[in-house]
Amino acid sequence: MANLGSLVATGASVKVEGLLVAPPVGKKQRIELRLEKVLHVGPVDPAYPIPKTQLSLEVLRDHNHIHLRPRTNMISAIIRIRDALAFATHSFFHENEFRLIHTPIITTSDCEGAGEMFRVTTMVGEGIPQKDGKKIDYAADFFGRQAFLTVSGQLQLETCACAVGDVYTFGPSFRAEHSHTSRHLAEFWMVEPEIVDADIQDVMNWAEAYVKYMSQWLIDKCCDDMELMADKGCIDRLRMVASTPFERISYTEAVKILEEAVKGGKKFDNKVEWGIDLASEHERFLTENEFQKPVIVYNYPKGIKAFYMRLNDDSKTVAAMDVLVPKVGELIGGSQREERYEVIKERILEMGLPLKPYEWYLDLRRFGTVKHSGFGLGFEQCCCLRPALTTLETLFPSQDTQEEQICN
Amino acid sequence: MANLGSLVATGASVKVEGLLVAPPVGKKQRIELRLEKVLHVGPVDPAYPIPKTQLSLEVLRDHNHIHLRPRTNMISAIIRIRDALAFATHSFFHENEFRLIHTPIITTSDCEGAGEMFRVTTMVGEGIPQKDGKKIDYAADFFGRQAFLTVSGQLQLETCACAVGDVYTFGPSFRAEHSHTSRHLAEFWMVEPEIVDADIQDVMNWAEAYVKYMSQWLIDKCCDDMELMADKGCIDRLRMVASTPFERISYTEAVKILEEAVKGGKKFDNKVEWGIDLASEHERFLTENEFQKPVIVYNYPKGIKAFYMRLNDDSKTVAAMDVLVPKVGELIGGSQREERYEVIKERILEMGLPLKPYEWYLDLRRFGTVKHSGFGLGFEQCCCLRPALTTLETLFPSQDTQEEQICN
């Protein structure tokens, strides 16, 4: 039977019967369909807009027909890789007897005071009731008060961890921050486990085990799709991540290494000194130049970290940790949580935060506290272990929101 | 060694070593921990607010300490059941080679024109720019236009199904509708598969297989937790659902059955006649009284269904289907999608919808259309196959949004 491609136009759906066979020697593809019967050929407009030639991600992103992009090799490969990583995530946590919790998306609490939040409302246009002609009267809004999109499910997750044991959440998070980099999306998915009876060492072990598990999963199941990625080094990097013990250094050691590098002539845009938050360039230097493998930095200065992280005995640092990966940067951030009632109360006040919104959170320490730790992983960051390929934003026609962000 | 309960106060965390053994004959519990070593006892405020006595769901919901509720038997059982159903869902679709898609949460498109939508914004208070002193100028908002929370990922999912084959999404959906019933939440999770080369019969098969799979999963893995549910019939009902072929009747047959019932003296609050949308009381009559098992009703009048459902040859009905389950009501709604370009265009115009926002969706029919079908399942509705136990809303302290809705 003739070649199918010569019978039907590009973009048409076909339903055929045939035999999957090894191709003749010398052909590039690994398998070939020996066509036996054409069952159905669907109609297609001859003005099919996606050419058969290979297109770059940038061209696809600018393309007028973004809703047709999943039909390209690269985007469909990314869909399969993302799917594999999601299932690997659920498998990893279920094998280890974690329970999935769907933490709330619409919330009135702000996890860290860290990110700018989106407001959720049903009040529109001229109908917005304003008090004194100025302030919006949120009592008239859907929830009778201001409501926001979640920036993290961690605090709510802790209520469950302190009740049923190890738990995790895997859901969308939101940051209302305009950004020119691929590292910040307005909408992204986060994986956040919370582990009881775990200290900072334990949570580093869990983070490393999880990243290795996902890397191995991709190596085992997705090499064909990985080969379609623009980054030809990604499979080797995955093998390295899966097989190499992560380096672990304290923040203080990390700063010393960076200071030595500066003395040796290395130029950074951001100043290096104890107390700074490590910039992306510092993180990449540590993981890509200094160690050339994943690095976990732990025990950060308390001044640059959230109130809920456990104060170390030096009273200067907290039991926080970040996992840095070559070409990815910070993949995971986590900490041992402050489980001591008096200490965490003091920390909230010290940071100038109000106690009232955190009273329920403090109750988790007051009424039967337990040592626990957790971390968060940005799922887009993790796909392919390469941020440039985090392509939620390239998939959907109505993903205007994400498109917008890329254009800004 | 003495009984642990007499050594530590209620609510304290303990870490112990011991042997799990069968209890002495006559004791109620199934296993007993023979204590050997107490490793750690955490502090607890003696004012621990949750008593040891059994509490009803209603009391827990009104409780001042909702964040401590996961520590009760019933809520922790629901957490485990919900987790099991989520993992069963991912397992079912992966065993059948579906790909998970994270469809966008923030969107500018409205799937069905069906539900009231929440608006997502960063414009606040007195700072809202208004044109002509009246209209809000959304060009100044985060995304440069109005943005909303998704009511369904279906349309976006179709872009992927028409590219990579069978896919599903499992994520939060939102409806800005105040409601007094447990059947409508402002925030809920939805499972939506989209299946290529599938017609209305195929999608009914998939829906039935999925519901049976989840039911069997709970029977196999969660009986201990199911026994803690207030509804003592739930395990028997699950066995019935898992083992009984679902009844399948057309909408026209369903209306006939209801009309016969009315003739026989059955009273409904809502009038029965061909063309109506079936009310909850009608659905329950069909599944609980008439058939006493799950019922799939298919081929609904086109006037009460969405534009994207495939027009049947009678030009009066569309290939839509609902799965009704005793004590649950409508668990699943789905349809074969209209894949014919000219027909769906006509349907959009017929329903008075604008063409422009759906142009990308029409392109999926114009550029290589393929027969496909899908359905949506409300995950809270599905947990325990019993709406009264859908307790996302009871879990979280900052789930004010959900609490609010229950109080309204």
pLDDT in tens, chain B (408 residues): 456 667 788 899 999 999 999 888 887 778 888 999 999 999 999 988 887 777 766 676 655 677 888 888 888 888 899 999 999 999 999 999 999 999 989 987 654 555 688 989 887 655 565 555 556 777 778 888 788 999 999 999 999 999 999 999 999 999 888 765 545 678 889 999 999 999 999 999 999 999 999 999 999 999 888 888 777 788 888 999 999 999 999 999 999 999 999 999 999 999 999 999 999 999 999 999 999 999 999 999 999 999 999 999 999 999 999 999 988 889 999 999 999 999 999 999 999 988 988 998 999 999 999 999 999 998 887 664 443 333 333 333 333 333 322 222
Using the predicted structure, report yes or no on whether residue A27 has a pLDDT greater than 90. Answer: no
Structure tokens at A245: 């013990």
CA A406 to chain CA centroid, Å, is: 17
Of A45, A106, A128, the CB nearest to B187: A106
Residue among B87, B101, B368 whose CB faces A44 most closely: B368
* Residue found by looking up tokens 């409300």 in the block: B378
Q: What is the pLDDT of residue B401?
A: 33
CA dihedral B126, B127, B129, B130 (to 10 degrees): 0
Q: What percent of chain A stands above pLDDT 70?
A: 84
Entry pTM = 0.92
Residue A38, pLDDT score: 93
- The pLDDT tens digits of the residues spanning A252-300 come to 999 999 999 999 999 999 999 999 999 999 999 999 999 999 999 999 9
Cβ contacts (< 8 Å) between A134 and chain B: which residues?
125-126
- Contact (Cβ atoms closer than 8 angstroms) between residue A229 and residue A238: no
Please give the DSSP secondary-structure letter assigned to residue A387: G
Could you tell me which residues come within 8 angstroms of residue B374 by beta carbon, excluding any fewer than 6 positions away? B154, B157, B158, B161, B192, B193, B194, B195, B203, B334, B335, B337
Of A108, A120, A398, the CB nearest to B109: A398
Nearest CB neighbour to B399, from listed A100, A104, A397:
A104
C-beta atoms of B159 and A395 within 8 A:
yes
Q: Are A376 and A210 in contact (CB under 8 A)?
A: no
Contact between A71 and B400 using a beta-carbon 8 Å cutoff: no
Is the model's pLDDT at A227 over the cut of 80?
yes
The closest of A81, A73, A31 to A51, measured between CA atoms, is A73
What spatial distance separates the first Cα and last Cα of chain A, rounded to whole Å? 52
Q: Which residues of A touch B102 (CB under 8 A)?
A: 82, 86, 172, 189, 392
Q: Answer yes or no: do A159 and B119 touch at CB < 8 A.
A: no
In this predicted model, which residue has the larger pLDDT, B249 or A180? B249
Question: Cα separation of B29 and A308, whole Å?
Answer: 38
CB burial string B330-367: b at 16+ within 10 A, e below: bbbbbbbbbbebeebbebbeeeeeeeeebebbebbbbb
Buried b (16+ CB within 10 A) or exposed e, A6-41: eebeebbbbeeeeeeeeeeeeeeeeeeeebeeeeee
**CB B267: neighbour CB atoms within 10 A?**
7
Cα-based torsion angle of the residue sequence A49, A54, A58, A62 in order, rounded to the nearest 10 degrees: -10
Q: Which residues of A touch B99 (CB under 8 A)?
A: 79-80, 83
The residue-averaged pLDDT of A193-207 equals: 98
Q: Could you tell me which chain B residue has the CA closest to the CA of A91? A: B87
Q: How many Å lie between the alpha carbon of B274 and the closest alpha carbon of chain A? A: 35
Instruction: Quote the tokens at residue B257.
Output: 């059955």
Are residues B71 and B55 in contact, defined by beta-carbon separation less than 8 angstroms? no
